[in-house]
Amino acid sequence: EVSLLDQGSNAQQSILSLEQEIALLSQFEHENIVQYYGTDKEESKLYIFIELVTQGSLSSLYQKYKLRDSQVSAYTRQILNGLVYLHERNVVHRDIKCANILVHANGSVKLADFGLAKEVSLVSSPRLFACLQMANCLICTFF
């Protein structure tokens, strides 16, 4: 169990937002994106099941420990790897921050929290799409 939503004020909007997040997340299968396993509704509660990532967020890790340059570099590569995967599928995360990057015990990082993520198309966002293409080229040369 990862997320529990009690129905109350603004419940319909919250449920709609969660359903959109789930619809996006369920499409992804990548080593640097948290894996979605399913949902369950029980009475007035919604349960979302995702991959267990045991070390918490990059934000909490950063506050507890001084990260070495080699760790930061490894995390950055993995974050960019996940972003390239999303961009190749015309998805923009729109909320990349340390709190939304989870760290696994094996040292891998996973992008999480797709609540603000959005599918974009070349037709609706040509300038954004051009930026994503350029960013992906820069990322590829970085590796």
Q: What is the pLDDT of residues 55-96, one digit of tens each?
A: 999 999 989 998 899 999 999 999 999 999 999 999 999 999
Distance CA 10, CA 24 (A): 22
Q: Are 32 and 85 in contact (CB under 8 A)?
A: yes
Q: What is the dihedral of CA 138, 106, 23, 17, to 10 degrees?
A: -90
| CA angle, residues 46, 50, 52, in degrees to nearest 5 | 130
| Domain region containing 55 | 3-142
Domain count, the chain: 1
Return the closest-CA partner of residue 3 out of 41, 60, 43: 41
Rounded to 5 degrees, φ, ψ at 26 are -65, -15
Which range of 3-17, 25-39, 117-131 scores highest in mean pLDDT? It is 25-39
CATH of the domain at 84: 1.10.510.10
Catalytic residue set = 95
